[in-house]
């Protein structure tokens, strides 16, 4: 664990601390961002935390401001970065927004860990437990595995990105400073992703057959599920990773019009936010990676630990239930209730 850097604290929440928590509001509409800004779950993590141990950076819709008119959580006041961009799911703008967050946080030399979370994440433990867990490891936590089945690799990326370095995983990562710097400094992999890693636009029902056939030949590539993993793999850094995410997601399977399997993160509602369910997630101690026939027994600094510190996607009502019932420790839920008056 890196020694904490002491500073005189200004009157408001200040920057330059060791563990950074990013509320990444990557929504496409202002209305959805408004809902995200009212989500209590990220505030639940830091309400009772020591202010010299975290900073918050937010990527939100360009022009949107977190203040007393948009959120009752003072932790988010003025925390959005100033050079935010319009983000579209499944496009390279997702990873571009993440790179902007890294760049903003790296300006402060005291920052040592960089945790990317979303507005639908809830913590499974209190801040002290999460802080000690993350800081006790010298490695980044990056879900990374071989993509053998989905065929998202585009041969046009070769030779810049060799196929044997192509990886897949969750975008919800926690990086050490060295790896965050590599992401920001990258001028090789990101341009290739912007050109060749794109989400396939499914044809409209009733469209022309030749258009449908052409679409099916396209590579369906979701940039944020591959970029960071592939970049670190190309830099020969996989030995410096805990190859797993600390954010739990439950996936639902569906079949589209072309009879192809699609996976979507399940949204947990009020009924799902029970002590039993939270305990079940906390008790997960290993992850099986089918494409590699690999079982990852969760460890931190050679000590066996629970696999997950966060969980998603939780609705506002589900998050409020977790807070009111004190499942992650004492918290004043009324402090984050938003009113329109």
Percent of the chain whose pLDDT exceeds 90: 40
Q: What is the pLDDT of residues 172-216, one digit of tens each?
A: 999 999 999 999 999 999 999 999 998 876 655 555 555 444 444
Residues paired with residue 98 on neighbouring β-strands, in sequence order = none
Give the neighbor-by-neighbor strand order of the sheet with 247-249. Answer: 122-123, 310-312, 247-249
Which segments of 136-293 does DSSP mark as H helices, in order? 177-185, 189-196, 209-217, 227-234, 275-282
CB distance 10 to 47 below 8 Å: no
Gap between the Cα atoms of 179 and 181, Å rounded: 5
Q: What is the pLDDT of residues 61-84, one digit of tens each?
A: 888 888 888 877 777 888 888 888
Q: What is the pTM of this model?
A: 0.80
The band of 151, judged by pLDDT with boundaries at 50, 70 and 90, is confident
Burial class (CB in 10 A: 0-12, 13-18, 19+), 24: buried
Quote the pLDDT of residue 279. 93
User: 135 versus 328: which is more confidently predicted?
Assistant: 135
Domain ranges for the chain: 19-246
- To the question of domain 19-246 being in CATH 3.30.420, the answer is no
Token reading at 130: 């999460």
Burial class (CB in 10 A: 0-12, 13-18, 19+), 295: exposed
CB distance 341 to 68 below 8 Å: no
């Amino acid at each position: 664990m890196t020694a904490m850097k002491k500073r005189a604290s200004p009157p408001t929440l200040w920057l330059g601390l060791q563990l950074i928590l990013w509320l990444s509001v990557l929504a496409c509409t202002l209305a959805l961002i408004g809902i995200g800004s009212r989500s209590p779950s990220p505030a639940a993590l830091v309400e009772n935390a020591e202010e010299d141990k975290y900073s918050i950076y937010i990527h939100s819709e360009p022009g949107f401001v977190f203040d007393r008119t948009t959120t009752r959580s003072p932790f988010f006041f003025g925390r959005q970065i100033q050079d935010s961009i319009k983000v579209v799911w499944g496009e390279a703008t997702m990873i571009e927004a993440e790179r902007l967050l890294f760049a903003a946080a790296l300006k402060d030399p005291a920052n040592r860990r960089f945790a990317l979370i979303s507005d639908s994440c809830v913590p499974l433990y209190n801040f002290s437990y999460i802080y000690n867990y993350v800081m006790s490891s010298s490695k980044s936590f990056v879900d990374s595995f071989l993509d053998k089945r989905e065929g998202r690799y585009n041969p046009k990326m070769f030779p810049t990105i060799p196929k044997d370095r192509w990886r897949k995983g969750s975008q919800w990562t926690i990086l050490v400073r060295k790896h965050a710097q590599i992401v920001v400094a990258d001028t090789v992999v990101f341009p290739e992703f912007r050109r060749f890693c794109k989400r396939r636009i499914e044809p409209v029902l009733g469209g022309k057959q030749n258009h449908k056939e052409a679409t099916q030949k396209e590579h369906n590539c979701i940039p944020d599920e591959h970029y960071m993993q592939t970049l670190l793999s190309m830099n020969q850094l996989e030995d410096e990773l805990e190859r797993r995410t600390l954010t739990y997601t439950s996936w639902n399977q569906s079949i589209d019009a072309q009879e192809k399997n699609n996976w979507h993160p399940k949204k947990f509602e009020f009924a799902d936010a029970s002590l039993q369910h939270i305990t079940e997630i906390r008790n997960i101690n290993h992850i099986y990676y089918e494409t590699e026939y690999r079982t990852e027994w969760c460890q931190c600094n050679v000590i066996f630990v629970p696999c997950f510190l966060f969980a998603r996607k939780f609705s506002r009502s589900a998050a409020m239930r977790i807070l009111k019932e004190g499942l992650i420790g004492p918290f004043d839920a009324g402090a984050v209730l938003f009113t329109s008056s």
